[in-house]
Amino acid sequence: LAKTTQPISMDSYEGQEVNITCSHNNIATNDYITWYQQFPSQGPRFIIQGYKTKVTNEVASLFIPADRKSSTLSLPRVSLSDTAVYYCLVGSGAGSYQLTFGKGTKLSVIP
């Protein structure tokens, strides 16, 4: 399983765009990149998944460079309710049912 590295914590003011970068230097050819969000006292929640280039949904954007050795989760105009831990996961789309979570990035949004 590809190992991921992401910052332990980040602070941001409300209304700003937040970018969280994850390194995954040994990502395999068939690996997808998935991000989860976890609020206190709740289970993780799927945010977005991508394989290459850019993926956007109603919550976030995911940027993946051509070499796929890193990825950046972008949260537009964060609010206090975006305060959470964000996990970057790397694994294959088929047959890899074990989600391997690291420690994640604790994002604190400041008023």
Partner 1 sequence: GAGVSQTPSNKVTEKGKYVELRCDPISGHTALYWYRQSLGQGPEFLIYFQGTGAADDSGLPNDRFFAVRPEGSVSTLKIQRTERGDSAVYLCASSPGGGRSYNEQFFGPGTRLTVL
User: Could you list the residues that contact partner 1 (CB under 8 A)?
Assistant: 32, 34, 41-46, 49, 87, 89, 91, 93-104
**Between 66 and 94, CB nearer to partner 1:** 94
Look up residue 83 and give its two tokens. Answer: 């305060």
**Between 75 and 89, CB nearer to partner 1:** 89
**Between 8 and 13, CB nearer to partner 1:** 8
- Count CB neighbours of 50 within 10 A: 19
**Between 16 and 73, CB nearer to partner 1:** 73
**What is the C-alpha to C-alpha distance for residues 61 and 54, in angstroms, rounded to an integer?**
7
Name residues whose C-beta falls within 8 Å of residue 83's C-beta, 6 or more positions apart in sequence.
39, 107, 108, 109
